[in-house]
Structure 1
Amino acid sequence: MAAGLVISAPASGVGKTTLTLALARAWRNRGLRVQCFKSGPDYIDPAFHAAATGRASVNVDSWAMDRSTIAHLVSRGADADIVLAEGSMGLFDGVAARGVSGTGASADIAEMLGWPVVLVIDPSGQAQTAAAIAAGLRDYRAGVQLAGVVLNRIASPRHEDLVRRALNDSGIAVFGALPRHAEISLPKRHLGLVQAEEQAEIGKLIDEAARFVAEHVDLDAVLRAAAGWSPQPAANGLNVTPPGQRIALARDAAFSFVYPHMLEAWRAAGAEISTFSPLADEVPDTAADVCWLPGGYPELHAGKLAANARFRNGLRTFAETRPVHGECGGYMVLGTALTDAEGVRHEMTGLLGLETSFAKRRMHLGYRLAALAAPIPGHQAGARLRGHEFHYSTILAQPDTPLAVVHDATGAVIAETGSQRGRATGTFFHLIAEDR
């Protein structure tokens, strides 16, 4: 029987990912089988989880997924000794309107699976108030169980003593306290702007984090606090239809944001996936019946993509007879042009009329519910798709036929409708699941 825990915090930027990776690697170094998951729509952290554990990690999302889908996904942890679900944002942070099985909050996953929560608390600039925050989180929702806390970025032994005493008085277990240690921090450029597979040093960083955490955290106590867990049989598998029988998937540093559960679901349904690299000036597999361009960082490689005539011409030729779909960054590359952060305009493939710019950055972030006005590969017109949008580009032109009516999590209509022209389609959101 596996044991499960959720690693969460009062807010973002407190150290959840660092602690998750450190615990996973430390327990793996002891010979335990560790399985990680990521709560919420994040493309980056699952790759780091895999680097730490040697096992693929997937996203579980209570806003976009029903309980059966979540049960199916977490069942991969059945043969593990310990299962860690890394939360997103603060423990109870989600959207205002409930989705399929929750609001997207990490607490939803903790309650649904019965996994206790280990809170990462950063008491910088605080002492006893940190205990008040932890106690408030403990008592906020009856179905969520707090296992204890790990203190991060402790300033001094005196500081640690003050915080520990207050937590002990509140009946909250303290598993350990981490002094400030810049060498093991994994800054935003690693966890947001650069993917795990690009980090040659990521293994060393995780090893150092594991060594440091093992010195300051009672790993055995954390393990004992985990809840015994046996996966429940899922009535249904993943609610994902592959876009085709043979899929040409763009895959390189510019195109890497694909949810792992999507690729697994495509393969489970019998689809074959052949990858190609637009950055290497490669073209889609001519034997494929559909081409899929995921999101990523095309804005960082716009000049090279514009110069790769073989790729651009090959994609245009492919689109003459077969469907091509792009998500977010892939959608931008299907467009006419992309202006980078320096204001330089780069010609893209021109399969759609979309023009985007990063010269004036504006964040677009949130869950999306789209009702398709036209089909995309794998989904017919009228299908309702759940996904997530996160990018900084500004739309300069979106002249083609709107692909969908898109709402945010509150039900408000948004302008990023996606586009359709001929056999080319694109959306700004990344697909997570289709409504049943």
Structure 2
Amino acid sequence: MIETRGLMISAPASGTGKTTVMLGLLRALSDEGLRVQPFKSGPDYIDPAFHFAAARRASYNFDTWAMGADMLSGIAHKAEGADICVAEGSMGLFDGVATLGQVGFGSSAETAKKMGWPVILVIDVGGQAQSAAATAMGFRDYDPEVPFAGVILNRVASPRHERLTRLGMDRAGIRVLGALPRRGDLTLPERHLGLIQAVEHPDLEAAVAGYAAFLRDHVDLDVIRAAAAGGVMEGAKGLPKPPAQRIALARDAAFSFTYPHLLDGWRAAGAEIVPFSPLADEAPDAAADLVWLPGGYPELHAGRLAAAETFRKGLRKHAQTRPVHGECGGYMALGEALIDKEGTRHAMAGLLGLVTSYEKRKFHLGYRRAILQDAMPGHGAGAALRGHEFHYSTILDEPDAPLAQVFDADGNSVPETGSRKGNVTGTFFHLITAEAP
């Protein structure tokens, strides 16, 4: 059992500025001498790296759709020794799936309720004033069991605009924790999957310091700290078991989408993780039991990957006798070819027959439940896995044997089954956890 004390930073919708608030708050509280534990609600593998840069403490995902009680407890225990937890929500506060999952619907509200963390709602008040209070009232009252701390007004145009908006909030009985003036220089760079990766930001430290200064000037940090509340998480400390003892993990700007709880679980169980960089044309560790290629942005580096002969030869040699697995971008890199958005075809590793294209983008997004038809590293045939898919590629050819039957969160079959050929497996979903047998 662990008792936590924290807050949930959420919003009515994506694009309201909650990530800026999150990063600024993490750094501002850290600068006050607090040990701040960041979390991300939902299946996001980009934001935790930004959280780490701001809080200087590793961030972890809570996922109430995919994770059972023991895993949620294991992740909650990452807050041991912290003074306060701050979690960032995904999409809108109540956005989740339609059908009840293993634990719940996967919304940020569910995480806040389970952990006992009051919600701070970041509202973009551009183009409205008193009317913003109606939005805040709706979110406060939609589920009375979700604790609600108040709102931060974002993109306030003028002192008069702030005054009128505060009048509406006062009338609705909504506490205003801060008002952030409109500033065009506070946005984080984005691409088609959302934010760019933290390692790609040209000056992330300066950006985070700027967000913190902005927050200190315009929100009441003492009131925000006082609004934090504690929750109790019971259960065993369960994290994923490693798929092998010595794991060669692709790790660079092309392959970086790995959930932190997976790597922590592997290490905690005694596995050794040996990173290597395909972009630097490094071969995987020759003594590894398994090569794991996570997702990322291989389409942005397809030419370099196609020219990385040392990497590809090492991968092929390993696959002759030992397993190789790829997720999403890693799966594409194991295929025959990847066609970039300009229509240029790039040869990939050729360990699978998969051919993918970004010339005609097709959006794939959502939770996935997979029933394995064949074994993959760490999981036998018949195992049920939970994961998440998010990419814009189109499959042109996938000739190998299907790896799994794959379903969305509502139980509808999806065509992206993954595939297997010899010792090589791949999936379009990013693994979160396996269901208990």
Structure 2 residues not aligned, in runs of 5+: none
Shift of residue 2, structure 1, vs aligned partner:
5.1
Alignment of 1:37-436 (within 5 A): 37-189=39-191, 192-229=194-231, 231-238=232-239, 240-436=240-436
Letter of the 1:155 counterpart:
A
Question: 1:28 and 2:25 equivalent?
Answer: no
Q: Within 1, Cα distance between the matches of 2:117 and 2:9?
A: 10
Shift of residue 62, structure 1, vs aligned partner:
0.5
Letter of the 1:96 counterpart:
A
Is the 8 Å Cα contact of residues 406 and 417 (structure 1) preserved in structure 2?
A: yes
Partner deviation per Cα, 1:309-336 (whole Å, 9 max, x = no partner): 1111111111000000000000001000
Task: Give the stretch that moved more between structures: 255-264 or 304-313.
Answer: 304-313
Is the 8 Å Cα contact of residues 7 and 119 (structure 2) preserved in structure 1?
A: yes
Is the 8 Å Cα contact of residues 38 and 59 (structure 1) preserved in structure 2?
A: yes
Is the 8 Å Cα contact of residues 371 and 404 (structure 1) preserved in structure 2?
A: yes
Give the SS at the match of 1:279.
coil
TM-score (norm 2): 0.97
Q: Within 2, Cα distance between the matches of 1:242 and 1:228?
A: 32
Q: Within 2, Cα distance between the matches of 1:423 and 1:2?
A: 43
Is the 8 Å Cα contact of residues 352 and 424 (structure 1) preserved in structure 2?
A: yes
Q: Within 2, Cα distance between the matches of 1:161 and 1:333?
A: 54
Shift of residue 126, structure 1, vs aligned partner:
1.2
Letter of the 1:135 counterpart:
M
Give the SS at the match of 1:165.
helix
Q: Within 2, Cα distance between the matches of 1:223 and 1:427?
A: 42
Q: Within 2, Cα distance between the matches of 1:48 and 1:145?
A: 26
Give the SS at the match of 1:278.
coil
Count of aligned positions: 434
Shift of residue 187, structure 1, vs aligned partner:
3.6
Q: Within 1, Cα distance between the matches of 2:159 and 2:107?
A: 34
Q: Within 2, Cα distance between the matches of 1:44 and 1:192?
A: 8
Is the 8 Å Cα contact of residues 358 and 393 (structure 1) preserved in structure 2?
A: yes
Shift of residue 233, structure 1, vs aligned partner:
4.3
Give the SS at the match of 2:168.
helix
Task: Give the stretch that moved more between structures: 91-100 or 68-77.
Answer: 68-77
Q: How high is the sequence identity, in percent, across the aligned residues?
A: 62
Superposed CA RMSD? 1.3
Structure 1 residues 50 and 406: CA distance shift in structure 2, 3 A: same
Is the 8 Å Cα contact of residues 21 and 206 (structure 1) preserved in structure 2?
A: yes
Q: Within 1, Cα distance between the matches of 2:157 and 2:202?
A: 31
TM-score (norm 1): 0.97
Structure 1 residues not aligned, in runs of 5+: none
Partner deviation per Cα, 1:312-363 (whole Å, 9 max, x = no partner): 1111111000000000000001000000011000000110000000001111
Shift of residue 72, structure 1, vs aligned partner:
1.6
Letter of the 1:430 counterpart:
H
Task: Give the stretch that moved more between structures: 308-317 or 182-191.
Answer: 182-191
Q: Within 2, Cα distance between the matches of 1:330 and 1:190?
A: 18
Shift of residue 13, structure 1, vs aligned partner:
0.6
